[in-house]
A and B are shown apart, each in its own frame.
Chain A
Amino acid sequence: MAAPKKALRTDEMVLSMGPQHPSTHGVLRLELKTDGEVVEEAIPHIGYLHRNFEKHAESLPYFQIIPYTDRMDYIAAMNNELGFVLAVEKLMELGGKPIEIPEKAQYIRVVVCEMNRIASHLLAFGTYGMDIGALTPFLYAFRDRETILGLFEDICGARLLYNYIRFGGVSRDLTPDFHHKLRRFLSKFEKNIDTYNTLLTNNKIFLERTKGVAVVSVDEAVQYGWTGPNLRGSGMKWDLRKDEPYSIYDRFDFEIPVGETGDCWDRYKVRMDEMRESVRIVRQALDQMEENGLLDDPNYAAKVSAKLRPPVGEVYFRTETPRGDLGYYIQSDGTNVPSRVKVRSPCFTALSAMRKLSRGLLVADIIAIIGSIDIVMGEIDR
């Protein structure tokens, strides 16, 4: 009698998705253990964009670190600069040598950061559409992003990596027609957001693809250290611009959009709504500049020595970038070179939940998750 046939043994198929892949947002590599279309586990592998930022920073004068911060989250370089600059300024203040920042510089910083937030969220919106399979929103988003980048080019000559925000102010004054151009863009852009919502946000297929996918509760989100739009998507009202106001964010009136369930659609929608709030902030900033006669004020930066030597001490300072809390820890030994710089990356914590979120979903959902947590590998790998 023949032995009873063993059941057919099947193995999971390991699919190495990335680092070169159309929708891993940079050079993320995901090791997918798949059973047909179902993903049993997705293990993210990072480090393909590691450039040794923190070690580099230990051998550079403070001024020369600013351009390196641009290259972390290259989608929102202004916000990264602001975080570092504010941290160093805080360090100076703690050591009893505060830098007086001109009013105009404060406003310019807020304006460019919020503009960059819009640009960053536009990219998130466009690429998310592309991840889900709609190619047109991407082009629409880039049309508006192009205007913002053009404005940045006007004021600092660069379109992606600005090196614009400096200790004590900014590197250059605004161009004379900057605020006209910006206002024209804002009024056009506000209408465009409605178009985007019609085109993608409320599309039936899009809703089917993103609603209820990868739900993260508030507790889970906090446990994973999620911040920014991802945390707010889960329903927690946490925004450093409101909760720990830095720079001059306490002078503006804006809402913090939050999601309800914490699925992919909520995280995406928070970004869409945040763009509107950013428009509001930029408008108010421009209004206040105009009211206070700052537009014609030539004083856009305080004089800071190129050999900036913060007093001995340490500081941890965090700001709200488009991706969440970006924290800089800086230790100064009194020389013009920091003895330690450490970055707390919001994208890294967001990606750390990937393994848990992706269990049992489909391959297409993995893409939906990556897009919804809006990671930038430059910041994760540093």
Chain B
Amino acid sequence: MKHPIETAAEHIRATAAEATETLNLGGAWPAGLPLETVILLALAVIGIISVTVVAGIPIVLVLMERKVSAYFQNRLGPTRVGPWGLLVTLADGIKLIFKEDMVPPTSDRKLFRLAPYVVFAASFAVVAVIPPFQSTVIGNMDLGLFLYLAISSLIVLGIIMAGWASNSKYSLFGALRAAAQIVSYEIPLGLAVLMIVMTTGTLNMQHLVMDQADGIHAWYMFRHPFLFIGAFIYFISAVAEVNRTPFDLPEAESEIVAGFHTEYSGIRFAYFFLAEYANAFIVSAICATLFLGGWAAPFPFLSGVPGIVWFLGKTMFLVFIMMWMRWTLPRVRVDQLMSLCWKYFLPISFVNILGTGVLALLEREEIGAQLGGLFLSADAVSWIAFPFILALLGWIAHSGTEPVRRPS
């Protein structure tokens, strides 16, 4: 068996040869440079460009958040730097870069320095698997969805590192809250994603979108009721994953100052800050891709509009909902957060999985055609049963759970 790197190199070489042929660059290579070097250079350039573009996302989002919050609060928000305050995030970024790099003397210096990069890298790496339009994914791999779940879990590692290394009590509180919260909410989130996988049998994000490309009725959210509920569970869990209000306990400023990044300042703080917004974007993008058809147009006659418009439109809509929630809702308490996850989302998710499984089975075995097919398809039957499913879920959520008891 060949070493994976060799396989990859061969693959690259083949692709490059193909590209050379297609683009008619036959004799245009700079003299003396071996093909691999050129490819590496090209990859580096592409990498730098894409990282720059991706890094632009949180910068836009920060401005958006400031404007959205301002309009929610009868304010104007930033107006001074650039037209309509457009450059204010850049100005903030420059300010943060020039700030003194403070490392608390009692901290674990190595971990303290490393933590922001872990969070930053983990959140940005996920971008690779999201298909922004029809032809392109940075990494079009068959395990895309799995990679997302795997890499995004690394963020909590960085947060715990930051909280522990700071050697501050508030940071520790924030880090422990983050650990408990993110790890807990990964379960309903993973289960919601699992439903999609059960329905389609693929983990490739691009294939998932193509499967939804027929129009709004084909979007997974509207396939059948279990997925409809699953979409909400996914989105709420995702909000909890990225620590945004009402689940912003790890950085609840009225309780634990700034949580895990209390001791951070300057550019290291900026890394956390940017990663937070990148995360908000990424979970929204994944939600849009998984449940709302990604780059696919909602109606066939609109398919002339470029996919990136749909993709960004749907994602930004979800991001806007997150901001809306943040500037409207108070924060839940830590025990309420946990009870929501373990007592409500988890049982509901299990029922969802069961329902999805039954529907998938009916479809595959063509039992559906024999049973429901007399009149309607199995999916249509399940939509009719939707109110009953909701009632069942409500009953499950309420039975066996008592009101949150005070811990004393």
Contacts and interface: CB of A to CB of B under 8 A. Distances in A.
Interface of A: 13, 15, 21-23, 36-38, 129-136, 139-140, 143, 199-200, 203, 205-206, 208-209, 212, 359-365, 367
Contacts of A134: 245, 328-331
Contact of A363 (B256, B328, B404): B256
A186 B149 CA distance: 54
A133 B245 contact: yes
Contacts of A205: 246, 329-332
Contacts of B170: 15
Interface in B227-264: 245-246, 248-249, 252-257
Contacts of B249: 364
A310 B287 CA distance: 75
Contacts of A199: 328
Interface in B48-82: 69, 72-75
A367 B328 contact: no
B254 A130 contact: yes
Q: Interface size for chain B: under 10, 10 to 19, 20 to 34, or 35 or more residues?
A: 20 to 34
A21 B407 CA distance: 25
A360 B406 contact: yes
Interface stretch (B134-142, B198-206, B333-341): B333-341
Contacts of B75: 139
Nearest to B331: A133
Q: Which of B249, B256, B333 has the most CB of A within 10 A?
A: B333
B408 interface: yes
Contacts of A361: 406-408
A201 to B, nearest CB: 11
B73 A200 contact: no
B327 interface: yes
B72 to A, nearest CB: 6
A152 B406 CA distance: 44
Given A22-B257, A143-B74, A363-B256, A133 B334 contact: no
A367 B254 contact: yes
Nearest to A143: B74
Given A15-B169, A205-B246, A21 B330 contact: no
A36 B327 CA distance: 29
Given A132-B331, A134-B329, A205-B329, A363 B253 contact: no
A362 to B, nearest CB: 6
B407 A38 contact: yes
Contacts of A15: 169-170, 173
A15 to B, nearest CB: 5
B248 to A, nearest CB: 7
B371 to A, nearest CB: 40
Given A133-B254, A359-B408, A208 B332 contact: yes
B253 A360 contact: no
A303 B173 CA distance: 61
A133 B248 contact: yes
The 9 closest A-B pairs by CB, nearest first: A133-B331, A360-B408, A139-B73, A23-B254, A134-B330, A132-B330, A133-B330, A364-B333, A131-B254
A362 B334 contact: yes
Contacts of A363: 173, 255-256, 334
Contacts of A362: 333-335, 407
A131 B72 CA distance: 19
B103 to A, nearest CB: 21
17 contacts: A15-B170, A15-B173, A22-B254, A129-B330, A133-B245, A133-B248, A134-B330, A136-B69, A139-B73, A200-B330, A205-B331, A208-B332, A209-B336, A361-B408, A362-B335, A362-B407, A367-B254
A209 B333 contact: yes
A208 B328 contact: no
Given A37-B334, A133-B331, A362-B335, A140 B246 contact: no
Given A140-B73, A367-B254, A13 B169 contact: yes
Nearest to B176: A36
Nearest to A364: B333
A21 B257 contact: yes
Given A129-B330, A364-B331, 10 more contacts: A15-B169, A22-B254, A36-B176, A134-B328, A199-B328, A212-B406, A361-B408, A362-B333, A362-B334, A364-B249
A46 B369 CA distance: 75
A139 B256 CA distance: 22
Contacts of A37: 173, 177, 334-335
Given A22-B257, A140-B73, A133 B252 contact: yes
Nearest to A368: B333
Interface string B158-183: 00000000000110010011000000
Nearest to B249: A364
A33 to B, nearest CB: 12
A199 B73 CA distance: 12
Contacts of B245: 133-134
Contacts of A13: 169
Contacts of B257: 21-22
B252 A364 contact: yes
Contacts of B248: 133
Given A206-B330, A360-B406, A367-B255, A136 B73 contact: yes
